[in-house]
Structure 1
Amino acid sequence: MKIQRSIVVSIVLVMQLLLEANSLAVFDITKYGAKPGGPDISVALMKAWKDAMASTVASQVLIPRGDWTLSQADMSGPNKAPINLEVKGNLKAYPDLAAAKSSAWIRISKVDSLTISGGGVLDGQGQETWKRNDCGTKKACVKPPINLFLKSITNSIIHDITTKDSKFFHANCVESRNVTFQRFTVSAPGDSKNTDGLHMARSNSITVIDSVIGTGDDCISMGDGLSNIIVKNITCGPGHGISIGSLGKYTYETDVKGIRVEGCTLSSTTNGIRIKTFPSSPIAITVSDIHFVGITMVNVSRPIIFDQEYCPGKPCPVAKPSQIKISDVEIEGITGTSATSEVVTFVCSKDKPCDNIRIGAIDLKYIGKKPKPVTTRCQNIKPIFTATQNPPICSAPRPSTT
C-alpha cells in the first residue's frame, strides 16, 4: 500500500484569499464582553462560536493577544462555511481540577474546513493535577480533561499553536478525516503524568509534520482504527517516544494500516519507535503496512521496541499471548545513541508471530555510564534483512525474561 500525503492545502489557500479580500466574517470575543485578564470568557467564546457557525461566508473566531481565563468550551458544528479559530493570546485553564466539568477543556466536534492557528498558547495549568493523578495505576480513576479534543473533524488544519501543561493528554484527534497538524508545539515537563502530546484513533489521512513535542508521556500515540497516517519531521523529547498502541485492551478495536514515521529526531526519551499491545487481548486485529524511516536517536532508552507483553498495571495477565498480528513493517535508516545496552527489542506474540519485518540499515551505539555489551532481543520474529545493522539484530535470540 502506498501511503498518500494528506495536507489540506486548498483550505489554507481559501482562507488566505478570503483574508486578503477582507471578506472574512470576524467574530472577536471582545465584542461579546470578554476582557483580557478578566473573568471566565466561556460565555463570550460560545456566543462568538455560535454566530460563526451560522455564517454563510468564511468566518474567524478571534481570541486577541493577552491573557484569557477559560473554564471549558464545547464547540460543535455543523458549520455552513470554513471557520478559523484564531488564538493569538494565552488561553489559561483554571488550575483547580474541581473547575473541570467534562473530559475535555476545549472540545471541537462535527466541523468541516476548520483552521486553528494564531501563534497562541493553550495553557492547561496542570501542575497540581499531575501530583494527584493516579490514572496510570487505577482503572476507576476520574480522568482529568484533555487540553484540545477534536472529534469528527474533516478537511482541517491545526498549525502554529502551542498546547502547554495539559492536565491530561494535550490533544486528541478521533473519528476524523483529512486533518493536518503543522508546526504544532507541545510543552510539558518530563514528569507530567499521562500527558500524551497527540493521540489519534479511528481516523483516516492524518498528517503531523514539522512539530516539536516535549511532554511526560508518548509524544505521539496512535490507537486503533487508523489508516493513511504520516508523521514527519517531528522533534520528540522529553517523552516516551512515538508509539503505535497500546492495542488489544478493548473489544471494539479495529485494524491499524498504513503508518509512516519519517525524518524524526528523538532526544532523551524513554522509548524511541514503539509498537505495544496487551497480552490476553479480547480482540484479534492486525497492525500492517508500517514504515519507520530515517529516525535519529539521541540518548534514547530502548530505541526500537515491539512489546506484545505490554502491561503497565500489575498483575499482568500474560497467560494468553497477544492476539494482535504485526506484519509488513519496514525499519530503515535508524541511527544515533542509546541510553540502554539493549538497543533493539522485539517481543512478539507466540500465537501471532511478527511477520514480514524488513530491517535495513541500523547504526545504534550504547553510551551508558557503565560499560556493557550491546545486545538485541528477539522473540517470535524472523526478520528479513536488507542492509547491515550495528549491532547485529537477532543473531542470538534469547528467551523472554518476563
Structure 2
Amino acid sequence: MFSLFQAFLKAWDAACASSGKVKIHIPPGTYKLGPVKFKGPCKNVTTLTIVHKGTIKASTNIDKYKSDYWVEFYRVNGLTLEGGGTFDGQGADTWMHNSCSKKKHCQALPVSVKFIHTIDTTVKRFKSINPKFFHMAVIGCEKFHATNLTLEAPEESPNTDGIHIETSTNLKITDANIRTGDD
C-alpha cells in the first residue's frame, strides 16, 4: 500500500531531481503524516516552492519519532514554504511524555518544522498549532525570511516555544502572531 509518507517523499524526490523553478502543491484537505525529512541539495533547482493549503496532522504515536523533528528541511537552497496551510502537531496527545522540565537528561519531544542548513529560505502564511515541542527551529541557516506566521498552543502546553533559532545568520521574521504554552 502506498502511504502518504511515500507520496510526500516521491513528490519531493521528483522536485529535487528537476531543474529551474519547481513547485509542489499540497491541496486543501486533511492529511496525517509521521516524521519526514526532506533532504537537499537539489543541485539543478534554482527555487523550490511548496504551496501548502491543507492541514497536515502529526502522528500521535510517539514511538514513530526516532529523532527530534516531525517535518525537517535539510540542506535545501532557495526553498519557499507558503500557502496558508496548517501544521497540527497534535501535541496534547503526547505532552505527558515531556519530562524535560522535571529532569536534566531527557528525550525532547519533536519540533514541528525544522530548517537545518538551508540558504535563502522564505516562509510565509505559515500556521502551526499544538506542537509537541517547539513550533519551528531554524538551525545553521543563512538568509531566512519568515512573514505572516501564526503559532498557537494552549496555555497548558509544556515548553511549546514559538521559534528556536541557533547558529543562523541574516534572519528576518515579521508579522508573527505567537501564542504558546506557559513554559
What's the CA shift string for 1:145-189, capped at 9, x where partnerless? 110010111111100010111101110001011111100110111
Aligned position for 1:72: 35
Aligned position for 1:117: 82
Aligned length: 180
Aligned position for 2:6: 43
Pair 1:127-2:66 in alignment: no
Aligned position for 1:196: 161
Aligned position for 1:88: 53
Instruction: Give me the whole-angstrom Cα distance separating, in 1, the residues matched to 2:173 and 2:75.
Output: 21
For residue 72 of structure 1, what is the amino acid of its counterpart? P
Instruction: Give me the whole-angstrom Cα distance separating, in 2, the residues matched to 1:184 and 1:191.
Output: 21
Instruction: Give me the whole-angstrom Cα distance separating, in 1, the residues matched to 2:40 and 2:27.
Output: 23
CA shift for structure 1 position 96: 2.4
Map 1:127-206 to 2 at 5 A: 127-206=92-171
Which of the residues 168, 174, 177 maps onto 1:209? 174
3-state SS, counterpart of residue 119 of structure 1: coil
Which of the residues 107, 115, 134 maps onto 2:72? 107
3-state SS, counterpart of residue 118 of structure 2: strand
Give the number of the structure whose alpha-carbon radius of gyration is greater.
Answer: 1
For residue 169 of structure 2, what is the amino acid of its counterpart? N
Instruction: Give me the whole-angstrom Cα distance separating, in 2, the residues matched to 1:93 and 1:132.
Output: 15
Pair 1:56-2:19 in alignment: yes
Instruction: Give me the whole-angstrom Cα distance separating, in 2, the residues matched to 1:96 and 1:214.
Output: 25
Instruction: Give me the whole-angstrom Cα distance separating, in 1, the residues matched to 2:101 and 2:170.
Output: 30
Moved over 3 A (4+): none
Unmatched 5+ residue regions in structure 2? none
State the percentage of identical aligned residues. 32
Instruction: Give me the whole-angstrom Cα distance separating, in 1, the residues matched to 2:176 and 2:135.
Output: 14
Q: TM-score by structure 1 length?
A: 0.44
Instruction: Give me the whole-angstrom Cα distance separating, in 2, the residues matched to 1:89 and 1:140.
Output: 36
CA shift for structure 1 position 110: 0.5
Instruction: Give me the whole-angstrom Cα distance separating, in 1, the residues matched to 2:16 and 2:97.
Output: 38
Instruction: Give me the whole-angstrom Cα distance separating, in 1, the residues matched to 2:164 and 2:155.
Output: 17
CA shift for structure 1 position 123: 0.5
3-state SS, counterpart of residue 155 of structure 2: coil
CA shift for structure 1 position 61: 1.5
CA shift for structure 1 position 131: 2.5
3-state SS, counterpart of residue 34 of structure 2: coil
CA shift for structure 1 position 103: 1.0
The more displaced of 106-115 and 132-141 is 132-141
Map 1:336-375 to 2 at 5 A: none
RMSD: 1.3
CA shift for structure 1 position 102: 1.9
3-state SS, counterpart of residue 111 of structure 1: coil
What's the CA shift string for 1:341-368, capped at 9, x where partnerless? xxxxxxxxxxxxxxxxxxxxxxxxxxxx
What's the CA shift string for 1:7-51, capped at 9, x where partnerless? xxxxxxxxxxxxxxxxxxxxxxxxxx6xxxxxx511110011011
Unmatched 5+ residue regions in structure 1? 1-32, 34-39, 218-239, 241-402
What's the CA shift string for 1:256-300, capped at 9, x where partnerless? xxxxxxxxxxxxxxxxxxxxxxxxxxxxxxxxxxxxxxxxxxxxx
Q: TM-score by structure 2 length?
A: 0.94
CA shift for structure 1 position 92: 0.5
Relative CO higher for 1 or 2, CA cutoff 8 Å, sep ≥ 6?
2
